[in-house]
Amino acid sequence: MDDLTIKKLLADLQNPSEEVRDRATQIFWEQWFCQKGSAGLERLQRSQALMDSGEIEAAEAILTALIQAQPDFAEAWNRRSVLYYTQKQYVQALQDCQKVLSLVPFHFGALHGLGLCYAAVGDYPAAVRAFHRALEVQPHALINQKLLLECSARL
C-alpha cells in the first residue's frame, strides 16, 4: 500500500461517517492480514483455528515460525500478541505489540492491545497513553474511549 493510500485511509478513520470509517478499517485489516500473500494469510488463519480449539502451543509455534521466517510481517506479531494476552502473558504481549508498532506505527489493533496489556499489569499511566494514541488514529472507537476513561479513573 503506497503512502498516499495510507494517508487517505487514515483520514477516513477520522471521518464522521461510520460507513467510511468501517470501510477504511476493513481495508487496513485486509492489507495487514494479506501482507505476505495467501501463504501468510493461511498460516494466520490456521493459528487462529488452533487458538479457537484450545491448541495454544501449536498456534504459538505457527506464529513464532512465521515471525522467524518473515520478521517484517506485522500481523503475525500482532496475532501472537493476542495469543499471549489471552494467556495472561502480558509482558510477552507488550513486547509483540511494540514490535508491531515499530513496523506499522498506526496499527490501531496493536495500539488497543498495548493499552489492554498495560492496564492488565496495572500500569495505568502507560495504558492511558496507549489509548490516547489509539484514539489519535481512530477517534470514534468507543471501546478505546471507554477504556481511556476507566484507566484515567484509576490514576
Enter the pTM of the model. Answer: 0.95
Of the candidate CATH numbers 1.25.40.10, 3.40.630.30, 1.10.150.120, 1.10.10.60, the domain formed by 105-155 belongs to 1.25.40.10
Cell of 84: 499471549
State the pLDDT confidence band at 53, using cuts at 50, 70 and 90: very high
pLDDT tens digits along 18-28: 999 999 999 99
pLDDT tens digits along 79-107: 999 999 999 999 999 999 999 999 999 99
For residues 49-57, average pLDDT: 97
Letter for the amino acid at 27? I
Write down the residue that cell numbers 513464532 correspond to.
64
Model confidence at 1: pLDDT above 90: no
Mean of all residue pLDDT scores within the chain: 97
The 3-state secondary structure of 66-117 reads: HHHHCCCCHHHHHHHHHHHHHCCCHHHHHHHHHHHHHHCCCCHHHHHHHHHH
Q: Taking a C-beta distance cutoff of 8 angstroms, is the pair 49, 81 a contact?
A: no
- Residue 107: its pLDDT value, please? 98
Closest among 101, 108, 103 to 10, alpha carbons compared: 108
For residues 9-14, average pLDDT: 98
Instruction: Give residue limits of the domains in the chain.
Output: 105-155
Residue 20's alpha-carbon distances to 7, 14, 25, 31, 80, in angstroms, are 14, 9, 9, 17, 29
Read off φ and ψ for residue 2, nearest 5 degrees: -80, 165
Model confidence at 108: pLDDT above 90: yes
pLDDT tens digits along 124-154: 999 999 999 999 999 999 999 999 999 999 9
- Residue 131: its pLDDT value, please? 98
- Residue 60: its pLDDT value, please? 98
